[in-house]
Structure 1
């Protein structure tokens, strides 16, 4: 690595860090101004507020780091172009691809850091951020943070449960059904109850007005009881799964969770896959956006740095728009999650190749 490489790499990393340090306090100030009244109304302890904003910084820095990186590259590369430093570098016989090398080294460093953050640190921050938000900042947050209506779950290979709705305050589910099947997929037993209540003290369930049906060879055995305390193999989380649970899991836990949910036939499997695939796609976007930023800002323009920043901000918002739209489509439609998550990178990768070819000319 020669002097030019060190010079560009230093500017790349330092400008990116400065961009983060500039925008994160602005984000905190805006967030405080929007939520301070609700925090005061709920008398949130200062320690929890401090932890919330620590999680807030990690959560949003990871979410928006490709945009911050993109704008920082445009910023300092435009300054190099306006000071005719790029012209001097290329005039010395260095090719444009060789000039691009320190940018790719910087993108590699940032991507590896972002990858490790997304695997191990961001999930914990996401858990704290979302828990605080639902607990203190959202009306009826305890119910909104969990799936409480029409929950259908496969507990294991032979057991299925269904509840029409769940009250998180009383920890009671209504219109509960449990079905157990034999190995040949024939029904073995079915339990139906008007209510089922979770007893946290002894980890049992209380069934109210329930009926059991044991399927026999010649006839079925049906029994009805007004109330009964019992245990089941499923957990409370199965009755009322957390909406954002996938975001709070590290890489290994998330893979295991997805396999478990796939075996259960979960209807939210696409949502969980989107979270998994984005852990890999977001770091890759650092390379694509870096190439686009260099190609856009390496040429000295009549409008100066302002024109480059205007183009960069437009492309940044287009990238965020594509990312959000296809993420939602993967969760709500039949589009394969892997394809939907990678479409923004594919589209902007093609744009990066086109702009790079023009910049080399």
Structure 2
């Protein structure tokens, strides 16, 4: 049963975390708005679109930084308990340190479930709205680096390339498709432009040229316009990070399975996104234990010392998360190990700090 102690700490756990989100998210929105307001006004963006954009940005921002917010909020209110000698009172009444941790673990479970739902279902939709707004209004007239020179292996035999791909319009420029049998090229298709037709799932090629490689001479076929079908989908040309972030749990699993069957070289990037959706919610437990162990001891410097220690540990956690994620995306480093490594290291740190704090 939940006791008075559990309700008291749990109320502070959830309340302080929510308060910190309410304080920092408007700051993030204000800073972001200050950077983008000239583009928004220049493009005469409707107010409804702006409000929807900042709604998506709020979810995107909260999902990205919730471990740090949670960590700081636990340190904040636990330090207050320690400074008011409430922690000493709890433990002196016969409550063990592990029993004292129980409401924290209940709170971490609530946050973990919320973060799981947020990361698996709400954040992908918000990320899609956030990116679509950015491409339509904030990057209007610009070619994002991930939209230029897109080269993909779409299956075992076919490679495609476009010099520029428009996500919203679903069209590309300077398209080529090369088909290989073993190490030998069988034919090459090129076109000035390619556009996907949603109504019948076909592709329209302008200034179409097909060169079939012969033993003695090549066969060349030309057409000013051609409607055809291909084995790949238009999403194969979508920027890597953009497509991965916008797929929910089921869609992302299906997408990765399809990409593996095609022999895609970007599997690591997709799997980093998938594994992070599992590892980040679990980090709520680890960071909660570290925060309690660090801040439940009354220090001479007061809350300031605890917050300084907490911010330093939080920054190191974020650094580890980013650096190992990037390593997995850019190399053959295991995505599973890269995304869970910060949790492993900080899990060991949590056990060490917990044992010392219990003494």
TM-score after normalising by structure 1? 0.90
The offset of 1:2, in angstroms, is 1.3
Aligned to 2:144: 144
Structure 1's 297 and 253: CA in aligned 2 closer, same or farther, altered over 3 A? Answer: same
Match of 1:285 in 2: 283
How far did residue 205 of structure 1 move?
A: 2.2
Query: What SS class does the counterpart of residue 300 from structure 2 fall into?
Result: coil
In the alignment, the residues of structure 2 paired with residue 88 and residue 239 of structure 1 have an alpha-carbon distance, to the nearest angstrom, of 61
How many Å apart are 1:175 and its aligned residue?
A: 5.5
Query: Could you give the per-residue CA deviations for residues 123-160 of structure 1, whole angstroms, max 9, x where no partner exists?
Result: 1001111211222223644x3275431412224x6x51
In structure 1, the residue matched to 2:86 is: 85
Deviation at 1:29, TM superposition (A): 1.4
Kept after mapping to 2: 8 A contact 1:115/1:283: yes
**8 Å CA contact retained: 1:111, 1:283:** yes
Deviation track 1:304-359 (CA, whole Å, cap 9, x = no partner) reads: 11111111111111111111111111101221011111111111111111100100
Return the alpha-carbon distance in structure 1 between the equivalents of residues 71 and 208 of structure 2. Answer: 61
Greater shift in the superposed pair: 225-234 or 323-332: 225-234
Corresponding residue number in structure 2 for 1:26 = 27
Q: Equivalences for 1:201-216 in 2 at 5 Å?
A: 203-206=202-205, 208=207, 210-213=209-212
TM-score (ref. length: structure 2): 0.90
Residue aligned with 2:44, SS: coil
- Aligned counterpart, 1:173: 173
CA gap 1:165/1:22 in 2 versus in 1, 3 angstroms: same
Q: Supply the distance in 2 between the matched residues of 1:75 and 1:282 (Cα, whole angstroms).
A: 21
How far 1:241 sits from its partner (Å)? 4.6
Q: Is the 8 A contact 1:206 1:228 kept in 2?
A: yes
Is 1:148–1:240's contact at 8 Å kept on the other side of the alignment?
no
Aligned to 1:312: 310
Asked if the contact 2:191–2:209 (Cα under 8 Å) also holds between the matched residues in 1, the reply is yes
Worse overlay, 281-290 or 187-196: 187-196
Which residue of 225, 230, 238 corresponds with 2:227? Answer: 230
Per the alignment, residue 357 of structure 1 pairs with 355
Q: RMSD over aligned Cα, in angstroms?
A: 2.4
CA contact (8 A) 2:175 2:194 kept: no
In 2, Cα distance between equivalents of 1:167 and 1:347? 40
Does residue 48 of structure 1 match 2:46? no
What stretches of structure 2 of length at least 5 have no aligned partner?
none
Is contact 2:150–2:237 with CA below 8 Å preserved after alignment? no
Range 290-299 or range 315-324, more displaced: 315-324
CA deviation profile, 1:19-66 (whole Å, cap 9, x unmatched) = 111111111111112211121112111111100110111111111111
Following the alignment from structure 2 to structure 1, what is the Cα–Cα distance between the partners of residues 81 and 323? 35
1:252-331 counterparts in 2 under 5 A?
Answer: 252-331=250-329
Q: Deviations 1:244-301 (Å, cap 9, x if unpaired)?
A: 1110011000000111111112222111101100000000110000000000000000
